[in-house]
């Protein structure tokens, strides 16, 4: 991916991991289309990126909304194309044993964590194919860990991983690459929601993942296609078993 005219869509970009990712991309000269549900927080993030010299288009709203997804892809098209789609927005849902989980709430979590990325990839694929682009889907160790209380969230991330690998096989011949990234435990608002009232200060801030993102975005998409990475792995050993 050339850096001077590169365009990226990043969802969940107003805080935490998404904010760190946009900052790394901005430092590399990437033009950004950023999304989050909190319009005020997204505006603050966009203002900071713009003040630092970045070209930024903000699209506030829930990525589960088809209109929002269409606006994201349209904005990238107006910027000249699309090199990178980063599906970061996630819904945590309630942390509780499966026997106590209200099954009627599962569809809302699945919609954000699986269906929305799927639909956004479908929309963005033609633009990505024109630029030999890359799809990055953010996963979690809960996708493979079977942690008590994390079943609904973890199952959606497991579904996202399978979908990512399937898309990778289906889109490779169109020049679109894809990777899965587990950012690891971090001191974020979402992680705090999972542990209400607990001290999570022992977790690192999302900036700990910046070296990984700098490395990933410097790679040719085809060279990393189909791989699963852990963004906090030590000594740059980021590659994990798929």
Q: So which residues are the catalytic ones?
A: 153
SS3 22: helix
Q: 239: which 2 tokens?
A: 């590659």
What does the alpha-carbon distance between residue 60 and residue 43 come to, in Å, rounded to a whole number?
9
Residue 197 neighbours by CB under 8 Å, 6+ apart: none
First to last CA, the chain: 24
* Residue linked to tokens 């798929």: 242
A 10 A CB-CB count for 149 gives 16
Residue 20 neighbours by CB under 8 Å, 6+ apart: 206, 207, 209, 210, 213
* Residue linked to tokens 């994390």: 150
- The answer to whether residues 56 and 46 touch, using CB atoms and an 8 Å cutoff, is yes
What does the alpha-carbon distance between residue 178 and residue 201 come to, in Å, rounded to a whole number?
33
* Residue linked to tokens 């490395």: 215
Pairing type for strands 239-240 and 228-230 reads antiparallel
Residue length of the chain: 242
* Residue linked to tokens 């609904």: 152
């Amino acid at each position: 991916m050339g850096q001077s005219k590169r365009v990226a869509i990043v969802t969940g970009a107003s805080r935490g991991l998404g904010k760190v990712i946009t900052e790394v991309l901005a430092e590399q000269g990437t033009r950004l289309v950023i999304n989050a549900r909190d319009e005020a927080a997204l505006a603050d993030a966009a203002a900071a990126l713009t003040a630092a010299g970045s070209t930024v288009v903000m699209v506030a709203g829930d990525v589960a909304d088809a209109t929002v997804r269409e606006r994201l892809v349209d904005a990238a098209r107006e910027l000249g194309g699309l090199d990178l789609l980063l599906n970061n927005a996630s819904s945590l849902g309630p942390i509780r044993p499966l026997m106590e989980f209200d099954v009627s709430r599962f569809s809302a979590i699945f919609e954000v964590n699986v269906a929305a990325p799927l639909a956004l990839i479908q929309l963005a694929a033609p633009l990505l194919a024109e630029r030999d682009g890359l799809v990055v889907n953010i996963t979690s160790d809960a996708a493979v860990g079977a942690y008590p209380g994390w079943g609904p969230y973890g199952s959606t991330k497991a579904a996202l991983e399978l979908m990512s690998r399937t898309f990778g096989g289906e889109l490779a011949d169109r020049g679109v690459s894809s990777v899965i990234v587990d950012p690891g435990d971090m001191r974020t608002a979402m992680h705090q929601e999972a542990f209400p009232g607990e001290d999570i200060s022992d977790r690192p801030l999302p900036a700990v993942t910046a070296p990984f993102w700098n490395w990933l975005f410097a790679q040719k998409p085809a060279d990393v296609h189909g791989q699963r990475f852990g963004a906090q792995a030590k000594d740059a050993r980021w590659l994990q078993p798929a």
